[in-house]
Amino acid sequence: MTVPIAMQSTPGSSGYLDMHPDRKMSFFKNPYILGLAAVAGIGGLLFGYDTGVISGALLYIKDDFEEVRNSSFLQETIVSMAIAGAIVGAAFGGWINDAYGRKKATLLADVIFILGAILMAAAPDPYVLIVGRLLVGLGVGIASVTAPVYIAEAAPSEIRGSLVSTNVLMITGGQFISYLVNLVFTEVPGTWRWMLGVSAVPAIIQFILMLFLPESPRWLFLKNRKNEAVDVISKIYDLSRLEDEIDFLTAQSEQERQRRSTIKFWHVFRSKETRLAFLVGGGLLAFQQFTGINTVMYYSPTIVQMAGFEANKLAILLSLIVAGMNAVGTVLGIYLIDNTGRKKLALYSLGGVIASLIMLSVAFYMQSSSSNAVYGWLAVIGLGLYIGFFSPGMGPVPWTVNSEIYPEEYRGICGGMAATVCWISNLIVSESFLSIADAIGIGPTFLIIAGIAVVAFLFVILYVPETQGLTFDEVELIWKERAWGKNPNTQSLLEHGSQS
């Protein structure tokens, strides 16, 4: 079966931008779209802060609660209960996004997160703390679905990767800030309560700012609220491009409304091209977690202590350096993702991750048979290299790809499903890491993760398409061709778009 559609003249496509190079957007050309991305990205900051803050807070929670100190399972549960909440939040987040819009979904996530942060800070025992972690996770789960889609739907296609990656920068920035906060509160009474309670602040800030921001223009078009949508995109595009964008989105939204009226959840798996897209999107997010990033970010002070640096404050300080490298690497990724391409960047990243994990494994194995402090420092260096390779590639690439590979009528559903896969994978890793390390040793554990990274490398080579510079419609053609066979006209179009 062939695909007769040709879209080289649609706004934002490679053909359109070749014809009108003066209409091409640059990353810093429009402060308005940067502002939208930054405010929406606070959801990523909440995600990052929660990921990072618990790693330091756990050291002091163990000091306050003897039952936590004596149970690896309880420690893992305190860490991973937020992820369990995020699974539920992500699962319903896609539906909330489609039914009520990206803006209301963000506001709801903020309210839930604020309540969870207050409950954690006031927790009289570890079990109330676990409930607070669950609430925080619900908010983070909804935000993890919403922020990338909101940014992607407002962004011009030529800078979409960079703008969606700002959300990942906010995640890594949130992790860095959390370690900084951990360090500041190490000598303050009620240490961990302050660490966890402060997490309400960015949620309050986002809630207030989001009240003044618009809904996603694509969602407004889909809901037949054209005047509001035009008002939004008129602030994004110059007059020379604006009329083309309005005409294109008007025609596209009418088609999407007709298709969406018959869309059900299980249709994701009935449609061959959408099923292929979900395999790639969900697979990338699963491998993002199983290659160990949140293991490192949740437990980095604990890992540093395992390397021989036992003082709480020193462990947090060294982890702060690792988190700083994570943020710097993500800034590099924002530049590379729209210049190098998603697929190539992911492969370079995974290659470095594999080498770093092997280095970590060897360092811990040698340390177990020697008291030489050199091996402890080698482990810390391996941890830093791991972050340095992971953060520019496997940090932003999975979220960026997921924000752009699904047809509009499936974007909320598939985005929620893929984020749920991410959080389930995260839960499995965070709930099992310490137990596996206790059972077989920290060195062999990192070697297992290195093996998973090798599988991830092969997955990217075989299944992940290059979506750099393509419009949403051009990306749809990729899945149609993979599902039903190649059409020479569309194949040449896609090759031209990915090289632009």
**Distance in angstroms (rounded) separating the CA atoms of residues 304 and 144:** 28
The DSSP secondary-structure symbol of 469 reads: T
Mean pLDDT, contiguous 10-residue spans, the chain (500 residues): 44 68 74 89 86 81 85 82 85 85 94 95 91 93 87 82 81 83 80 89 94 90 86 85 81 67 64 85 94 75 73 72 81 85 93 94 81 78 89 89 80 80 84 83 90 96 86 80 67 46
- Judged by phi (left if over 0) then psi (alpha if -120 to 50, else beta), residue 5 lies in beta
Supply the pLDDT for residue 9: 57
CA dist 306 → 74, 179, 186, 372 (Å): 19, 18, 20, 14
Supply the pLDDT for residue 258: 62
Q: Is the pTM of this model over 0.75?
A: no
**Distance in angstroms (rounded) separating the CA atoms of residues 198 and 212:** 24
Please give the span between the terminal C-alpha atoms of the chain, in angstroms, as a whole number.
28
**Distance in angstroms (rounded) separating the CA atoms of residues 362 and 382:** 10
140 within 8 A of 50, measured Cβ to Cβ: yes
Interval 274-308: pLDDT, tens = 888 899 999 999 999 999 887 776 667 777 777 77
What residue type is assigned to position 194 of the chain? W
CA 3 to chain centre: 32
> Among 59, 111, 50, which residue's Cα sits nearest to residue 84?
50
Query: Within a 10 A sphere around the Cβ of 481, how many other Cβ atoms?
Result: 19
